[in-house]
Structure 1
Amino acid sequence: MRKSYYAAHVYMILGLISGLYYREITKINDFEGDTQLSVVHTHLLALGMLGFLIVLALDKQFQLSESKQFTYFFWFYNAGIAITVLTMLIRGTETVLGNHVPEAVSWIAGLGHIVLTVGLILLFVLLGKRLNEHTKTGPAEAEPVKTTT
């Protein structure tokens, strides 16, 4: 569970820093157009921080991190976010600076999205297994309600 907490915390910090970066680089360069930098902030906060806070809550309920498959999810998902966000930063920065963006950046961004998707699939497979295990064991039987007369 600690891994999810730390990941969420790191993504919160990176999300805030990326928002500051976007604001400052566009201000310094007097840039007023559209750029990928405008959505790096929200990607880091939504996919990173909020995503891992949700995983943390699910882990608390279903002990997801006790499975080896959780480790695979964790690293694929983080790698997918890292690749995707780095390509967004490169494309956005080059756009603000007025430089040509190589086509390879788009291909690498696509790869990042594929890796991110693999991570999400692993999470859903793991969650499905845990839900099935939870359903088979069933909830604990409730004690009879005592009434006073």
Structure 2
Amino acid sequence: MKKLYYSAVIYTVLGLLAGIFHRELTKAQDFTAGTQLSVVHTHLLTLGTLFFLIAIALEKVLCLSSGRFFNAFFWTYQAGLVLTTGIMTVHGTMTVLGRTAGPAISGPAGLGHILLTLALVFFFLCLHNRVRPGFTHSAGAERHPLP
């Protein structure tokens, strides 16, 4: 549960910093066109903060972390999100600075998206194992008592 909470907090901070970085860099460069840098903020807040807040609620009710796919989901998702948003930041920054991004950017970006997709498969396997017939939700409530 703490891993999910700290992930949400970290992605909130990173998302807010990404918004500040985008605003300040484009203002300093007098850049008004579109760039991937403009969506890093929303990707971090949505795929990071919001997703992990939802995962906390599901963990509380369904005990997702006790499933065998949870660690695979958690670490694959982290790697995919960091790689995807990191490459978006690099690509967007290069665009604002007037540089061209080549295949060195698109390869890792694709890998980040593949990792996110794989992580979501693991996540849905965790969910499937918890919502299948025969799973009792009360067992999860005993494991994580309310304060």
TM-score, structure 2 length as denominator?
0.90
Long gaps (5+) in structure 1: 141-149
Provide the residue aligned with 1:54 in structure 2: 54
SS at match of 1:136: coil
CA distance in 2, matches of 1:113, 1:139: 33
State the one-letter code of the partner of 1:47: L
SS in 2 for 1:33: coil
Task: Deviation per CA, 1:63-85: give whole Å up to 9, x if none.
Answer: 11123421110000010001100
What aligned pairs does 1:1-149 form with structure 2 within 5 A after superposition?
A: 1-132=1-132, 135-137=133-135
Instruction: Find the aligned partners of 1:138 and 1:103 in 2 and give their Cα distance.
Output: 49
Q: How many residues get paired?
A: 138
Aligned equivalents of 2:31, 2:67: Cα separation in 1? 47
Instruction: Name the % identity.
Output: 49
Q: Which runs of 5+ in 2 are unaligned?
A: 139-147
Higher CA-based Rg: 1
Give the SS at the match of 1:31. coil
3-state secondary structure, aligned to 1:98: coil
- Give a deviation string over 1:31-50, Cα, whole Å, max 9, x none: 01111010000000000000
1:137 CA drift (Å): 4.5
**CA distance in 2 between partners of 1:36 and 1:111 (Å):** 17
TM-score with structure 1 setting the length: 0.89
Contact 2:4 2:52 (C-alpha < 8 Å) held by counterparts: yes
Q: CA RMSD for the aligned pairs?
A: 1.3
